[in-house]
Amino acid sequence: MDYEGENGQVILGSWRKDVCINTGNFVPLPKCKEWHPKIADDMRDILCGYVNGPGAVPWQWKVLIA
């Protein structure tokens, strides 16, 4: 994380050193072979059911449907 020193100068964080030597870009993350779009669909459906059911708040429909 970058931060400010005592005199207001920006001190660069060590995260800026996390780059690939060959390209100068950030080091790529490995792909997760077990991830599947079906998992994302299932999570979306679970969250949808919650926020439209037991997790609903009284004001949500006034804000969402204008």
> What does the domain layout of the chain look like in residue ranges?
3-64
| Best mean pLDDT range from 12-16, 52-56, 62-66 | 52-56
Q: Is 17 helix (H, G, I), strand (E, B) or coil?
A: helix
Name the residue with higher pLDDT: 5 or 63: 5
- pLDDT, residue 46, reads 94
Q: Is 49 exposed, middle or buried (0-12, 13-18, 19+ CB in 10 A)?
A: exposed
